[in-house]
Amino acid sequence: MSSKKLIKRSLHVPLTAGQLPPKNQPVPASDKDRRIRINKFFTAQGTCSRREADTLIEDGRVTINGRVAVLGDRVGPHDVITKDGLLVPWGNAPLYIKFHKPVGVTTTSEPHVKDNIIASISHPERIFPIGRLDKDSSGLILLTNDGDIVNRVLRAEYAHEKEYVVQVDCPFDQVFLDRMAAGVVILGERTRPCRVNRVGSQDFRIILTEGRNRQIRRMCQALGYRVLTLHRTRIMHITIEGLRAGQWQYLTEREQAMLLDAVHISK
């Protein structure tokens, strides 16, 4: 994020002795529980990436309670943190967004990539996608500014369900569905068993609990079929229902609570 954007979000509050916690004052127990690394603090506020935060810290542009920060410092809500003399306040609310990605949009936060997902949403806060959905596919994808949740959603051991509707290039029989459900060897390893059922002569619905790169396309290719369209309709309990292509909305309170519960995060 540019310094200009940071200034808009920050309060230009000159630090004085009165603003700093008295020396040797014990840190409240509740504050100790919430202490995080200084680079993670910046990502949690949606200010910049951890790598960018590390650079700011190494350059001496970050202070904690008036002291120049060093890599590995931990901070809590009672600490006064500045970047280039500007106060960076605590308390940015975590954002959880669902987006109906159209075909042609690339799931990346890299700004130089044409038709990237962040530009498509144009959200004022810094957000990033949870997982991927390839450029030629459409459907549901989640985005957030909450770094804690990303790996938990993606980690294979949680076996979170993702549901897709797929159309292939020619009609298939029950043998094809059974082989898809049992698992297919792609890239030298068999996929997990999954649920598959017919929707039409060339269309089927599939529910996966893993997310390898271009997995469904590779599975179909291994069985002699080519995917024409691939559309994700659900991630765990969150569905694409009501969202038009290119449209996004915040998760409802119920969706958010169920998401956090599913990945064992208390907020």
Q: Which residue is listed with tokens 């990237």?
A: 116
Query: What are phi and psi for residue 75, nearest 5 degrees?
Result: -135, 155
Q: What is 201-258 written as a DSSP string?
A: SSEEEEEES---TTHHHHHHHHTT--EEEEEEEEETTEE-TTPPTT-EEEPPHHHHHH
d(CA 53, CA 115): 26
Catalytic-role residue among 54, 134, 148, 203: 134
d(CA 11, CA 2): 16
C-alpha torsion angle, residues 140, 141, 144, 147 (rounded to 10): 140
- Locate all alpha helices (DSSP H) within 49-201, ordered by sequence: 50-58, 117-121, 147-154, 174-182
Contact by Cβ (8 Å): 79, 65: yes
In the residue annotation, 136 being an active-site residue is answered as no
CB atoms within 10 A of CB 203: 15
**Residue positions annotated with a catalytic role:** 134
